[in-house]
A and B are shown apart, each in its own frame.
Chain A
Amino acid sequence: MTRVAIAGYAQSPIVRNADTPLGELAVQTVRDAIADAGLAVTQIDGFTTGSLLPAMGDHASRDGVTCVTSDWVAQQLGVNPRFAAGFQGHGQLSGATMLAVQAVATGAADYVVLHRALHNPAGRYHQTAMAYAEGDAQWVAPQGLWGPLAMIALPYNEYLQRYGGRRETMAKIVVEARRHGARIPWSVWHDRPLTEDEYLAAPTLADPICRFDCDLPVDGVAAFVFTTEERARDLPHPPVFVAGYAQGHPTVRRAMLHWTLDDIMGAGNEIARRLWRSSGLSRADIDVPQLYDGFAPFIYFWLESLGYCGLGEAHALVDSGGIEADAGGLPVLTGGGALGNGRMHGVPQLLECYLQLSGRAGERQRVGVHAGLACHSSPHFGGVVAYTNV
């Protein structure tokens, strides 16, 4: 089977509110990624993205303004691509990556640009003025369940009551993300680490979730160029290969925003099984396991799903310094994650895998790095992509 590689990338500054319209930022970032890969725009014949969100508040969605689809980017670049597709689910970046890989591997396109454009709308991200709940919302909104704080607080409280864990432990996750995010020039948190005391002083919003457990809404765009191994070897940068990928989905139908811990972990366990099988890798091979942390408790769920500890043991692993990378712990947040970069929906995990495996991480470069994982979203509607450089 044709191996698919990432040949180049671009990452815009990640800011609270960009001076540039999102569409313009996206087009510029895609142009930068194409140039970084040593290619011309006319060579790009495939485009893919996940353009969902912000989706829960009352914000109107406008292509090129609040979101940016593949078709829109291709049009702005003046390209009539053979392949343009968007992944619509919540595990967007892993889904969009799979689309890019499939397109290249099948020959549907020779050079595919994957981009992700995130927008921070005016007002509160999830605020709604709904006076009448219909569709899926009728089962949750009248009862007081709305927005991701409640969504993550429910399974996290299940976790705490079943297995334990302290707020001080969750602080270690956020401090680790912000420690690494502070070192990243494009991060919204550049030069702004967080202390445990600052974390613990924050009031809770949905107990015990506080604002530091949530990634910060931002404007930002990243883009990556995918092509075959053979073509990538002729391009300027060391290629990073997609070694495998996996998704898992619960089979139980739930109301919107309603997650249970067992749903999440059931899907997570299946993802891990599929990932090792599809990639031929094992946990011991992985040098940079970049876990998704849009909400801090996801780190527990991914650590346990991927088998870095037993079920219910992630809080103990974290508590004992197990993910403190500077001190020899697992480098799960060395890319800063979502908590250390802003709400880029899985970009930091993919970007850190790419930079480390292509040897382009600069001062942050780790030695002897051969394989990485990029986890995206929550296990039950996200996915994992495995990368290697050999």
Chain B
Amino acid sequence: MRDTFLPGFADDVPYVLVDVELDEQTDLRVVSRLLDGEGPGLRVGAAVRVDFDDVATGTSIPVFRLEVA
């Protein structure tokens, strides 16, 4: 994303959105940001690991990082 319609994301642009299927349940998906940005490991099917972005006191947003093999 090189542009955003949301408040609070101006400093994050550009950012990468990923559609993640959870290991715990087939087709249970979460869309969020991938913190690694663009890179050679970014492709459909790549494994990721959840992390949490503490955006405010008591508020954490799930985000993802590419799983290092």
Chain A residues near B (Cβ < 8 Å): 56-57, 124, 126-131, 140-147, 149-150, 153-154, 157-158, 161-162, 203-207, 252, 254-255, 258, 260
Bound Cα distance A254, B29 (Å): 8
Contact A143 B5 (CB under 8 A): no
Q: Which residues of chain B are within 8 angstroms of A206 by Cβ–Cβ distance?
A: 1-3
B interface, over-half SS: loop
Q: Which residues of chain B are within 8 angstroms of A144 by Cβ–Cβ distance?
A: 1, 4, 6, 9, 12, 15, 17, 32-33
Contact B3 A161 (CB under 8 A): no
**Contact check: which of A130, A145, A205 meets B17 at CB < 8 Å?**
A145
Give the 4 A-B CB pairs with smallest separation, nearest first. A143-B32, A147-B5, A126-B5, A161-B44
Query: Taking the nearest CB of chain B, how far is it from the CB of A156, in angstroms?
Result: 12
Contact B19 A154 (CB under 8 A): yes
User: Does B61 sit within 8 A of A, measured CB to CB?
Assistant: yes
Contact A146 B5 (CB under 8 A): yes
What are 28 residue pairs bridging A and B, where the CB atoms are less than 8 Å apart in the complex?
A56-B5, A128-B5, A129-B7, A130-B7, A142-B55, A143-B17, A143-B31, A143-B61, A143-B62, A143-B63, A144-B15, A144-B17, A146-B6, A149-B1, A153-B17, A154-B17, A154-B19, A154-B31, A157-B44, A161-B44, A203-B2, A206-B1, A206-B2, A252-B27, A258-B19, A258-B29, A258-B31, A260-B29
A interface, over-half SS: loop
Q: Which residues of chain B are within 8 angstroms of A146 by Cβ–Cβ distance?
A: 4-6
Chain B residues near A (Cβ < 8 Å): 1-7, 9, 12, 15, 17, 19, 27, 29-33, 43-44, 55, 61-63
Q: Which residues of chain A are within 8 angstroms of B3 by Cβ–Cβ distance?
A: 149, 205-206
Q: Which residue of A lies closest to B32 (CB)?
A: A143
Bound Cα distance A146, B30 (Å): 14
Contact B27 A161 (CB under 8 A): no
Q: Which residue of B lies closest to A125 (CB)?
A: B5
Contact B5 A142 (CB under 8 A): no
